[in-house]
Amino acid sequence: MSSSTAKPRLRRRATTNHPVELGLLEDILGYHLRRAQTANFQCFSKHLGGRNLSPGQFGLLCKIKYNPGISQTALARAEGIERSTLGEIIDRFEGRDLVERRRHATDRRTYALHLTDKGNTFFKQVTPEVLAAEDELGQRLNKNELKTLIDMLKKLSSPAQDS
């Protein structure tokens, strides 16, 4: 049969509303944590998309604001990230004039981190947007459920205790 006389093949459309079986994933904590993190990033982006700020970066700015003079080493440890990774983020914050590194008062080898005036203003501007994203993300939970979830997540993310 020549190509000019061939009948076009019909393509079936994929059903987009068909539930996907999770199998083993149904009971895997890490899978559900990742899905919750994805929902968080989507909600955060919806509210702060034009701010060039991720949830993790907001967390760093928050820790610098409430711990003025914190060292990069202490901040990296508190955040659970490599110092070099944090250094790159701080470089970007400095480029945006949000954070400044100052020599530590007693240890000249250490940098103390501070929000700049622009950083404090930026923090004040984005905080209501962050809180609106938080409200939207948590709207399916009542206050007790939300508190319980946060308490459980804190427990999961805290260092393991030797028994």
pLDDT at 162 over 60: no
Residue 147 placed within a domain: no
The candidate with the shortest Cα–Cα distance to 96, out of 78, 122, 126, 76, is 122
pLDDT at position 124 is 98
Q: What is the number of domains present in the chain?
A: 1
Residue type, 37: Q
Tokens encoding 35: 């899905």
Give pTM, 2 decimals.
0.82
Residue 152 placed within a domain: no
The candidate with the shortest Cα–Cα distance to 60, out of 108, 102, 119, 110, is 119
Residue 29 placed within a domain: no
Residue 4 placed within a domain: no
Average pLDDT over residues 27-39: 96
Q: What value does the mean pLDDT of the chain take?
A: 90
pLDDT tens digits, residue range 114-131?
A: 999 999 999 999 999 999
The residue range of the domain holding 138 is 34-142
pLDDT tens digits, residue range 61-96?
A: 999 999 999 999 999 999 999 999 999 999 999 999
Percentage, residues of the chain above pLDDT 70: 89
Residue 87 placed within a domain: yes
SS (H, E, C) 30-48: HHHHHHHHHHHHHHHHHHH
pLDDT tens digits, residue range 127-158?
A: 999 999 999 999 999 999 999 999 999 999 88
Lowest-confidence segment of 1-10, 19-28, 35-44 by average pLDDT: 1-10
Residue 2 placed within a domain: no
Residue 7 placed within a domain: no
CATH assignment of the domain containing 49: 1.10.10.10
Print burial letters for 112-126: b (CB count within 10 Å at least 16), e (below 16).
Answer: bbbbeeebeebbeeb
Residue 73 placed within a domain: yes
CA dist., res. 154 & res. 21, Å (int):
30
Percentage, residues of the chain above pLDDT 90: 76
